Amino acid sequence: MLDPLARLGRAGIDTLEQIGRGHLLLLGILSGFADLARRPRLLIAQLYAVGVLSLLIVAVSGTFVGMVLSLQGYYILSQFGAEQTLGVMVAASLVRELGPVVAALLFAGRAGSALTAEIGLMAATEQLSGLEMMAVNPVKRILAPRFLAGFISMPLLAAIFSALGVVGGYFVGVGLLGVDDGAFWSQMQAKIDLQGDVRNGVIKSLVFGFVCTWIALFQGYYAVPTAEGVSRATTRTVVHSSLAVLGLDFILTALMFGD
Protein backbone atom coordinates (compact mmCIF):
# COMPACT_ATOMS: atom_id res chain seq x y z
CA MET A 1 0.00 0.00 0.00
CA LEU A 2 2.77 2.36 0.99
CA ASP A 3 5.06 1.20 -1.79
CA PRO A 4 3.71 3.34 -4.64
CA LEU A 5 3.59 6.31 -2.28
CA ALA A 6 7.19 5.75 -1.22
CA ARG A 7 8.25 5.40 -4.84
CA LEU A 8 6.51 8.64 -5.71
CA GLY A 9 8.24 10.36 -2.81
CA ARG A 10 11.61 8.98 -3.85
CA ALA A 11 11.07 10.11 -7.45
CA GLY A 12 10.17 13.59 -6.19
CA ILE A 13 13.26 13.80 -4.01
CA ASP A 14 15.44 12.50 -6.86
CA THR A 15 14.07 15.13 -9.22
CA LEU A 16 14.66 17.93 -6.73
CA GLU A 17 18.16 16.61 -6.11
CA GLN A 18 18.87 16.64 -9.85
CA ILE A 19 17.60 20.20 -10.18
CA GLY A 20 19.78 21.25 -7.26
CA ARG A 21 22.85 19.54 -8.70
CA GLY A 22 22.19 21.08 -12.10
CA HIS A 23 22.09 24.57 -10.63
CA LEU A 24 25.20 24.03 -8.53
CA LEU A 25 26.99 22.79 -11.63
CA LEU A 26 25.83 25.87 -13.52
CA LEU A 27 27.18 28.12 -10.76
CA GLY A 28 30.51 26.30 -10.95
CA ILE A 29 30.58 26.75 -14.71
CA LEU A 30 29.76 30.44 -14.55
CA SER A 31 32.47 31.00 -11.94
CA GLY A 32 34.94 29.50 -14.43
CA PHE A 33 34.40 32.31 -16.96
CA ALA A 34 36.97 34.52 -15.23
CA ASP A 35 39.65 31.90 -15.92
CA LEU A 36 38.66 31.81 -19.58
CA ALA A 37 39.70 35.40 -20.06
CA ARG A 38 43.25 34.29 -19.26
CA ARG A 39 43.06 31.23 -21.48
CA PRO A 40 41.17 32.23 -24.63
CA ARG A 41 42.61 29.26 -26.52
CA LEU A 42 40.41 26.88 -24.53
CA LEU A 43 37.35 28.78 -25.73
CA ILE A 44 38.52 29.01 -29.33
CA ALA A 45 39.08 25.25 -29.49
CA GLN A 46 35.54 24.66 -28.25
CA LEU A 47 34.00 27.26 -30.56
CA TYR A 48 35.46 25.19 -33.35
CA ALA A 49 34.25 21.84 -31.96
CA VAL A 50 30.80 23.01 -30.95
CA GLY A 51 30.08 25.73 -33.49
CA VAL A 52 32.12 25.33 -36.65
CA LEU A 53 31.63 21.57 -36.83
CA SER A 54 27.84 22.05 -36.55
CA LEU A 55 27.92 24.49 -39.45
CA LEU A 56 27.40 22.03 -42.29
CA ILE A 57 24.29 20.33 -40.93
CA VAL A 58 22.79 23.68 -39.95
CA ALA A 59 23.53 25.25 -43.35
CA VAL A 60 22.17 22.36 -45.38
CA SER A 61 19.07 22.03 -43.20
CA GLY A 62 18.43 25.77 -43.28
CA THR A 63 18.55 25.82 -47.07
CA PHE A 64 16.14 22.92 -47.42
CA VAL A 65 13.73 24.22 -44.80
CA GLY A 66 13.63 27.56 -46.64
CA MET A 67 12.98 25.79 -49.95
CA VAL A 68 10.12 23.73 -48.52
CA LEU A 69 8.65 26.78 -46.79
CA SER A 70 8.62 28.58 -50.11
CA LEU A 71 6.89 25.69 -51.89
CA GLN A 72 4.23 25.28 -49.22
CA GLY A 73 3.78 29.02 -48.74
CA TYR A 74 3.36 29.64 -52.45
CA TYR A 75 0.67 26.95 -52.64
CA ILE A 76 -1.40 28.59 -49.85
CA LEU A 77 -0.71 32.23 -50.71
CA SER A 78 -1.48 31.80 -54.40
CA GLN A 79 -4.99 30.66 -53.47
CA PHE A 80 -5.56 34.18 -52.14
CA GLY A 81 -3.56 35.86 -54.84
CA ALA A 82 -1.03 36.91 -52.25
CA GLU A 83 2.03 35.12 -53.63
CA GLN A 84 3.91 38.44 -53.76
CA THR A 85 4.15 38.28 -49.95
CA LEU A 86 5.99 34.96 -50.12
CA GLY A 87 9.25 36.66 -49.06
CA VAL A 88 7.67 37.98 -45.86
CA MET A 89 6.18 34.64 -45.02
CA VAL A 90 9.45 32.75 -45.52
CA ALA A 91 11.57 35.29 -43.64
CA ALA A 92 9.14 35.76 -40.74
CA SER A 93 8.74 32.00 -40.20
CA LEU A 94 12.49 31.51 -40.25
CA VAL A 95 13.56 34.45 -38.15
CA ARG A 96 10.83 34.16 -35.53
CA GLU A 97 10.48 30.39 -35.21
CA LEU A 98 12.20 27.91 -37.44
CA GLY A 99 15.66 29.44 -37.32
CA PRO A 100 16.04 29.38 -33.54
CA VAL A 101 14.01 26.20 -32.97
CA VAL A 102 15.25 23.91 -35.73
CA ALA A 103 18.84 25.10 -35.34
CA ALA A 104 18.57 24.35 -31.60
CA LEU A 105 17.18 20.87 -32.28
CA LEU A 106 20.01 20.18 -34.72
CA PHE A 107 22.48 21.64 -32.24
CA ALA A 108 21.20 19.31 -29.51
CA GLY A 109 21.56 16.33 -31.84
CA ARG A 110 24.94 17.24 -33.27
CA ALA A 111 26.87 19.21 -30.64
CA GLY A 112 24.91 18.42 -27.45
CA SER A 113 25.18 14.67 -27.85
CA ALA A 114 28.90 14.99 -28.65
CA LEU A 115 29.47 17.08 -25.52
CA THR A 116 27.65 14.58 -23.31
CA ALA A 117 29.53 11.63 -24.76
CA GLU A 118 32.88 13.40 -24.42
CA ILE A 119 32.37 14.52 -20.82
CA GLY A 120 30.77 11.19 -19.87
CA LEU A 121 33.70 9.24 -21.28
CA MET A 122 36.17 11.56 -19.57
CA ALA A 123 34.42 10.76 -16.30
CA ALA A 124 34.29 7.03 -17.07
CA THR A 125 38.02 6.91 -17.81
CA GLU A 126 38.83 8.88 -14.63
CA GLN A 127 40.17 11.83 -16.62
CA LEU A 128 38.04 14.26 -14.63
CA SER A 129 39.14 12.65 -11.35
CA GLY A 130 42.70 12.86 -12.59
CA LEU A 131 42.35 16.58 -13.21
CA GLU A 132 40.89 17.10 -9.74
CA MET A 133 43.84 15.32 -8.19
CA MET A 134 46.18 17.52 -10.24
CA ALA A 135 44.47 20.45 -8.50
CA VAL A 136 42.73 21.45 -11.72
CA ASN A 137 39.01 22.05 -11.38
CA PRO A 138 37.37 20.13 -14.26
CA VAL A 139 34.19 22.20 -14.07
CA LYS A 140 36.15 25.38 -14.73
CA ARG A 141 38.70 23.94 -17.13
CA ILE A 142 36.62 21.47 -19.16
CA LEU A 143 32.98 22.46 -18.75
CA ALA A 144 33.12 26.27 -18.67
CA PRO A 145 34.71 26.75 -22.14
CA ARG A 146 32.26 24.28 -23.67
CA PHE A 147 29.32 26.05 -22.10
CA LEU A 148 30.38 29.48 -23.30
CA ALA A 149 31.11 28.10 -26.76
CA GLY A 150 27.59 26.65 -26.97
CA PHE A 151 26.04 29.89 -25.78
CA ILE A 152 27.95 31.94 -28.35
CA SER A 153 27.53 29.47 -31.23
CA MET A 154 23.79 28.95 -30.97
CA PRO A 155 22.58 32.42 -32.09
CA LEU A 156 25.19 32.47 -34.86
CA LEU A 157 24.09 29.06 -36.10
CA ALA A 158 20.44 30.12 -35.95
CA ALA A 159 21.28 33.27 -37.92
CA ILE A 160 23.07 31.24 -40.58
CA PHE A 161 20.14 28.82 -40.67
CA SER A 162 17.67 31.67 -41.23
CA ALA A 163 19.84 33.47 -43.80
CA LEU A 164 20.36 30.34 -45.89
CA GLY A 165 16.68 29.51 -45.47
CA VAL A 166 15.77 32.84 -47.03
CA VAL A 167 18.19 32.19 -49.88
CA GLY A 168 16.70 28.71 -50.40
CA GLY A 169 13.22 30.21 -50.32
CA TYR A 170 14.25 32.82 -52.87
CA PHE A 171 15.55 30.23 -55.31
CA VAL A 172 12.37 28.19 -55.16
CA GLY A 173 9.94 31.13 -54.98
CA VAL A 174 11.54 33.42 -57.51
CA GLY A 175 13.59 30.96 -59.54
CA LEU A 176 11.15 28.09 -59.89
CA LEU A 177 7.69 29.41 -59.09
CA GLY A 178 7.99 32.78 -60.77
CA VAL A 179 7.30 35.15 -57.86
CA ASP A 180 8.42 38.67 -58.67
CA ASP A 181 12.00 39.27 -57.62
CA GLY A 182 11.45 42.85 -56.44
CA ALA A 183 8.28 41.99 -54.53
CA PHE A 184 9.99 39.10 -52.73
CA TRP A 185 12.71 41.34 -51.28
CA SER A 186 10.85 44.63 -50.88
CA GLN A 187 7.91 43.07 -49.04
CA MET A 188 10.36 41.32 -46.76
CA GLN A 189 12.23 44.55 -46.14
CA ALA A 190 9.03 46.41 -45.36
CA LYS A 191 7.40 43.88 -43.09
CA ILE A 192 10.20 42.21 -41.15
CA ASP A 193 10.86 44.23 -38.06
CA LEU A 194 14.33 44.38 -36.57
CA GLN A 195 13.02 44.76 -33.02
CA GLY A 196 9.97 42.53 -33.09
CA ASP A 197 11.21 39.75 -35.29
CA VAL A 198 14.97 39.63 -35.48
CA ARG A 199 15.72 40.62 -31.88
CA ASN A 200 13.17 38.20 -30.48
CA GLY A 201 14.58 35.40 -32.62
CA VAL A 202 18.06 36.14 -31.30
CA ILE A 203 16.79 36.13 -27.71
CA LYS A 204 15.18 32.76 -28.32
CA SER A 205 18.36 31.25 -29.71
CA LEU A 206 20.40 32.60 -26.81
CA VAL A 207 18.01 30.92 -24.38
CA PHE A 208 18.08 27.68 -26.37
CA GLY A 209 21.87 27.72 -26.55
CA PHE A 210 22.09 28.24 -22.80
CA VAL A 211 19.63 25.45 -22.00
CA CYS A 212 20.86 22.89 -24.56
CA THR A 213 24.51 23.26 -23.56
CA TRP A 214 23.64 23.17 -19.86
CA ILE A 215 21.64 19.96 -20.30
CA ALA A 216 24.40 18.36 -22.39
CA LEU A 217 27.13 19.17 -19.86
CA PHE A 218 25.01 18.16 -16.88
CA GLN A 219 24.13 14.81 -18.44
CA GLY A 220 27.75 14.13 -19.31
CA TYR A 221 29.16 15.18 -15.95
CA TYR A 222 26.70 13.07 -13.97
CA ALA A 223 26.52 10.14 -16.39
CA VAL A 224 26.90 6.70 -14.85
CA PRO A 225 30.54 5.96 -15.77
CA THR A 226 29.88 2.88 -17.89
CA ALA A 227 29.30 2.33 -21.61
CA GLU A 228 25.58 1.94 -21.01
CA GLY A 229 25.47 4.92 -18.67
CA VAL A 230 27.12 7.21 -21.22
CA SER A 231 24.87 5.98 -24.01
CA ARG A 232 21.77 6.65 -21.89
CA ALA A 233 23.04 10.07 -20.92
CA THR A 234 23.59 10.92 -24.59
CA THR A 235 20.05 9.89 -25.43
CA ARG A 236 18.72 11.91 -22.48
CA THR A 237 20.60 14.96 -23.72
CA VAL A 238 18.85 14.85 -27.10
CA VAL A 239 15.40 14.08 -25.63
CA HIS A 240 15.55 16.61 -22.78
CA SER A 241 17.06 19.32 -24.96
CA SER A 242 14.47 18.86 -27.69
CA LEU A 243 11.58 18.95 -25.22
CA ALA A 244 13.07 21.93 -23.42
CA VAL A 245 13.50 23.82 -26.69
CA LEU A 246 9.94 23.16 -27.82
CA GLY A 247 8.44 23.95 -24.42
CA LEU A 248 10.48 27.11 -23.95
CA ASP A 249 9.69 28.17 -27.50
CA PHE A 250 6.00 28.16 -26.68
CA ILE A 251 6.52 30.19 -23.52
CA LEU A 252 8.85 32.67 -25.19
CA THR A 253 6.55 33.05 -28.20
CA ALA A 254 3.58 33.68 -25.92
CA LEU A 255 5.58 36.29 -24.00
CA MET A 256 6.99 38.00 -27.09
CA PHE A 257 4.22 37.93 -29.65
CA GLY A 258 1.04 37.28 -27.70
CA ASP A 259 -0.38 40.69 -26.89
- Candidate list 135, 195, 250, 258; residue touching other proteins; CB under 8 A: 135
| 129 is a site residue for other proteins (CB under 8 A) | yes
Q: What is the size of the binding site for other proteins (CB under 8 A)? A: 13
Residues in Cβ contact with 165 at an 8 Å cutoff, skipping those fewer than 6 apart: 62, 63, 65, 66, 69, 90, 94, 98, 99
| 126 is a site residue for other proteins (CB under 8 A) | yes
CA contacts within 13 A on the Cβ side of 230 = 15
- Candidate list 1, 133, 194, 254; residue touching other proteins; CB under 8 A: 133
Question: Dihedral through CA 247, CA 120, CA 60, CA 70, nearest 10?
Answer: -10
- Considering only residues 104 to 123 of the shown chain, the ones binding other proteins according to CB under 8 A are 122
| 134 is a site residue for other proteins (CB under 8 A) | yes
Looking at beta carbons only, is 20 or 182 nearer to other proteins?
A: 20
Closest CA to 236 of 151, 155, 119: 119
Reduced DSSP (H G I as helix, E B as strand, rest coil) percent helix, strand, coil of the chain, to 5: 90, 0, 10
| 247 is a site residue for other proteins (CB under 8 A) | no
- Candidate list 9, 40, 130, 182; residue touching other proteins; CB under 8 A: 130
- Candidate list 14, 132, 181, 193; residue touching other proteins; CB under 8 A: 132
To the nearest whole angstrom, how small is the minimum distance from the Cβ of residue 126 to other proteins?
4
Contact present, 145 and 43 (Cβ < 8 Å)? yes
State the Cα–Cα distance between residues 114 and 241, nearest whole angstrom. Answer: 13
Binding positions for other proteins, rule: CB under 8 A: 122, 125-127, 129-137
